[in-house]
């Protein structure tokens, strides 16, 4: 599932260097979901519109860093998918720009305009939870965790994996979830305790689920749609939603400020918000709730009971999460990640 984006970046640089009028019929797509999903979306858009697509895939926070580094001379046109917090932060810093798509009326209300003024649009949503290797816990004589507080207990020392929030939007959503649920003082105390139980920090947000599936850890903190994906692929993991509530992501869809092919980017955004486009996500084991009201929820999500109606979610403050992102990541890196486990 993972692949370094530098190969694609090199190809993109060569393609852009050719210049000329032909470039007018081009879209440069930056994508943050699973690589195969991004590739399929690029191919379908090219087939449907005749617009040539050049694309790069990178995780949410890596793509944010790329867009920020290119702000003086933007290379990308549109940012497709990935957790919302980096999208919202990019909007706050003027790295992306508003676009009120005519498709907005078709979107679920809570994903229609997450931070206002059409600064980014909701593409999909998914609650945060765990992928638990129940067999491993039973073998070790450990109870099934039910709440976030459970994960910080000594029982689970060395048995948990999560991504690094500096590279993963999934992990950053976890930090914000805890800080919003507990308040900052108690939240940071909790995160310090949780850190003691972490066996491994990964680069990718979904990678901890693979570790749990292989029995390298017993508990992975991931989005529940990723937990469902691993269960459906045959890994011995159970999707678990925290009983005390959890945060969630809204996958972003953003127009990059100064996009070289802005009109094509707008066409892509309109196209990406249609149910005909969104339905293909499930073909690549991406089981999020899609933003268009006409896009059906995949049956496997209902089978595991991990749809929004069956998960207790908190009031997740996306704007606060984006405005405080740099501060939170700096404090976590300096005060939590730097500590011995």
| CATH number of residue 31's parent domain | 3.40.190.10
Kindly state whether residue 23 falls inside one of the protein's structural domains: yes
- The domain tally of the chain equals 2
Kindly state whether residue 303 falls inside one of the protein's structural domains: no
Are 242 and 269 members of one domain?
no
Are 151 and 29 members of one domain?
no
Are 86 and 42 members of one domain?
yes
Output the 3-class SS for 35-104. HHHHHHHHHHHHHHHCCEEEEEECCHHHHHHHHHHCCCCCCCCEEECCCHHHHHHHHHCCCEECCCCHHH
Kindly state whether residue 333 falls inside one of the protein's structural domains: yes
Are 109 and 167 members of one domain?
no
Q: Which two tokens stand for residue 174?
A: 């976890």
Kindly state whether residue 277 falls inside one of the protein's structural domains: yes
pLDDT of residue 185: 98
Kindly state whether residue 75 falls inside one of the protein's structural domains: yes
pLDDT of residue 322: 87
pLDDT tens digits in sequence order for the chain, 341 residues long: 444 444 445 445 444 444 444 457 999 999 999 899 999 999 999 999 999 999 999 988 899 999 999 999 999 999 999 989 889 999 999 999 999 999 999 999 999 999 999 999 999 999 999 999 999 999 999 999 999 999 999 999 999 999 999 999 899 999 999 999 999 999 999 999 999 999 999 998 999 999 999 999 999 999 999 999 999 999 999 999 999 999 999 999 999 999 999 999 999 999 999 999 999 999 988 899 999 999 998 889 889 988 888 899 999 999 899 899 999 999 999 999 999 99
- The set of residues, in sequence order, having a beta carbon less than 8 Å from that of 13 and lying 6+ positions away, is none
CB 197 within 8 A of CB 157: yes
Are 144 and 234 members of one domain?
yes
What does each C-alpha distance from 175 to 9, 57, 242, 300, 329 come to in angstroms? 30, 24, 15, 28, 9
Are 21 and 121 members of one domain?
yes
Q: How far is CA 153 from the centre of its chain?
A: 27
CB 218 within 8 A of CB 132: yes
Q: How far apart are CA 1 and CA 59, in angstroms?
A: 12
Kindly state whether residue 1 falls inside one of the protein's structural domains: no
Are 119 and 135 members of one domain?
no
DSSP 8-state symbol, 22: G
Are 77 and 44 members of one domain?
yes
Are 136 and 177 members of one domain?
yes
In 81-209, at which residue ranges do the beta strands (DSSP E only) sit? 96-97, 121-132, 160-163, 198-202
Kindly state whether residue 306 falls inside one of the protein's structural domains: no
Are 325 and 221 members of one domain?
yes
pLDDT of residue 1: 40
- Report, in this order, helix, strand and coil percent for the chain, each rounded to 5: 50, 20, 35
Are 174 and 101 members of one domain?
no
Are 194 and 320 members of one domain?
yes
Q: Which two tokens stand for residue 132?
A: 């638990």
pLDDT of residue 217: 99
The partner residues of 129 in beta bridges, in order of sequence, read 222
pLDDT of residue 21: 41
Kindly state whether residue 305 falls inside one of the protein's structural domains: no
pLDDT of residue 4: 42
235: domain range? 126-247+314-337
- Helix 262-272 × helix 35-49 angle, to 10°: 110
List the alpha helices (DSSP H) in 259-304: 262-272, 275-278, 299-303
- Ramachandran sector of residue 117 (left: φ over 0; alpha: ψ -120 to 50; beta: rest): left
């Amino acid at each position: 599932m993972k692949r370094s984006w530098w190969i694609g970046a090199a190809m993109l640089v060569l393609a852009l260097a050719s210049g000329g009028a032909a470039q007018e019929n081009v879209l440069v797509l930056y994508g943050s979901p699973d690589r195969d999903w991004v590739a399929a979306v690029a191919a379908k858009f090219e087939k449907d519109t005749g617009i040539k697509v050049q694309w790069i895939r990178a995780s949410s926070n890596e793509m944010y860093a790329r867009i920020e580094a290119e702000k003086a001379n933007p290379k990308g046109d549109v940012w497709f998918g990935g957790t919302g917090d980096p999208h919202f932060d990019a909007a706050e810093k003027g790295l992306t720009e508003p676009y009120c798509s005519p498709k907005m009326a078709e979107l679920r209300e809570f994903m229609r305009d997450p931070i206002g003024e059409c600064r980014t649009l909701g593409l999909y949503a998914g609650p945060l939870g765990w992928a638990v290797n129940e067999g491993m816990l039973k073998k070790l004589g450990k109870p099934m965790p039910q709440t976030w507080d459970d994960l910080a207990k000594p029982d689970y020392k060395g048995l948990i994996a999560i991504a690094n929030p500096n590279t993963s939007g999934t992990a950053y959503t976890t930090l914000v979830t805890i800080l919003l649920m507990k308040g900052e003082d108690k939240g940071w105390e909790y995160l310090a305790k949780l850190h003691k139980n972490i066996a491994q920090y990964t680069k990718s947000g979904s990678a901890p689920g693979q570790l749990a599936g292989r029995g390298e850890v017993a508990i992975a903190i991931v989005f529940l749609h990723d937990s469902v994906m691993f269960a459906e692929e045959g890994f011995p993991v159970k999707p678990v939603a925290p009983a005390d509530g959890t945060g969630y992501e809204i996958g972003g869809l953003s127009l990059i400020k100064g996009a070289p092919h802005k009109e094509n980017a707008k066409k892509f955004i309109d196209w990406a918000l249609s149910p005909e486009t969104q339905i293909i996500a499930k073909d690549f084991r991406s089981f999020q709730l899609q933003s268009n009201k006409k896009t059906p929820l995949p049956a496997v999500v209902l089978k595991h009971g991990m749809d929004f109606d069956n998960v207790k979610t908190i009031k997740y403050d996306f704007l606060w999460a984006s405005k405080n992102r740099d501060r939170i990541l700096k404090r976590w890196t300096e005060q939590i990640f730097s500590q011995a486990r």
